[in-house]
Structure 1
Amino acid sequence: MSDRTSEQSKLFHHPLFFNEAFTKEREIDDIKELASIPFLLDFKFQQKKAGLVVTNELIDHLFRLWRSEKEKIAASFKNRDRHAAKPAMIKGIGWFITILFWINGQRVARLTHLVEDCSSLPDQPFNLKERLIFILENPDHYLAYIQLTELYDELEKKWMMNLRKKEHMDRK
């Protein structure tokens, strides 16, 4: 691994999300498949110093991934198996953060100051900072799942409203 890649990977080091396999070279050409691994798409584009072109289709894909994963998480909690829910919750948290940045026209540049970076974004759900801290500290708790689900719902509504406003402005 080059020094530059090593420095960049340090920016993406977070106890919940970072995995050594994250920085390995991958032969994935499908952008949706890359996006399904939280933060990998942003990390890869940062390495190449290329602009990340986020489409509404890609954001919608991540919302669909969450809806699918949400059902698995709910089943795990219903069976009182919080350990089975935790990996899926971590993926869901990662997708939420990714969507939050993308909706705000930014890419995830680092995970080292995650809460501060997220709470500085202009378009965000109500009380994001407090809720995100709780979720990040308790990803295997049922109440964190409920909060994450509510955050997704609020963020998707904001995104849809912004899309409709943009469509309306484009018609004028």
Structure 2
Amino acid sequence: MKNDTVKIRIPRSFCYPPFYHEGDMLPLDIKTQDSFPFFYDVLYLSHDDQITTWPWQDIGSVEALFDHWKMISPQLKDAFHNRRGKHVQAIIILALANYIDLLFWINGKPVPTLDQSLYRDMVRLALIPVNAPDRVRYICHKPVHHASFIQLNALYDELRKKYVARKIRKM
């Protein structure tokens, strides 16, 4: 059976471990977008005319990422508790990518890059947990450590609280 899925090369600015490496390709298939870190950010950078409403323009996308974390965090907690962190490496890396997306999307922006300027860009965001850039950097370097999971869980909780507080103030 022939695979006709169109693929684009991941831009160099997104080729940073643990997410992507030089030469990686992104299938342009909306059905599999949840499986690829920064799908919409890369698509926006490469083909900004493909979608009329981007996730950072839609509150439902932000809610979906929080819901996804709520669904997978017990599974990750169990894996780390039973010292099987390496078995959930792909899941934790995608959860980290989703968190970075959340940081930017909540602030109405796509993720601009994954290079070192990512952390400078994070500092400029209006809605961000304390020390988030340093904590995200640590998790990126050691995604399958239990301490990274603890940090990621705390970051999701802190961002959720800030997000809800902002929603209440806007009412």
How does the TM-score come out when normalised to structure 2? 0.82
Shift in CA distance, 165/36, structure 1 to aligned 2, threshold 3 Å: farther
**Bigger proportion of residues as helix:** 1
Shift in CA distance, 82/135, structure 1 to aligned 2, threshold 3 Å: same
* Alignment root-mean-square deviation, CA: 2.2
Matching residue of 1:170: none
% identity of equivalent residues: 28
Matching residue of 2:139: 135
What is the SS of the residue equivalent to 1:66? helix
Distance 1:25 1:97 in 2: 21
How does the TM-score come out when normalised to structure 1? 0.81
What is the SS of the residue equivalent to 2:27? coil
The Cα offsets for residues 74-100 of structure 1, whole Å up to 9 and x where unpaired, read as 111121112113221111110000000
The Cα offsets for residues 109-151 of structure 1, whole Å up to 9 and x where unpaired, read as 2111322222232221011122122211211111111111010
Shift in CA distance, 20/70, structure 1 to aligned 2, threshold 3 Å: farther
Distance 2:108 2:16 in 1: 23
Structure 2, unpaired ranges of 5+: 1-7
What is the SS of the residue equivalent to 2:17? coil
**Equivalent residues in 2 for 1:20-169 (5 A)?**
23-28=25-30, 34-35=33-34, 37-50=36-49, 52-53=54-55, 54-113=57-116, 114-167=118-171
Distance 2:39 2:24 in 1: 7
Question: Does the Cα contact within 8 Å between 1:36 and 1:62 map onto a contact in 2?
Answer: no
Question: Does the Cα contact within 8 Å between 1:9 and 1:23 map onto a contact in 2?
Answer: no
Distance 2:22 2:16 in 1: 11
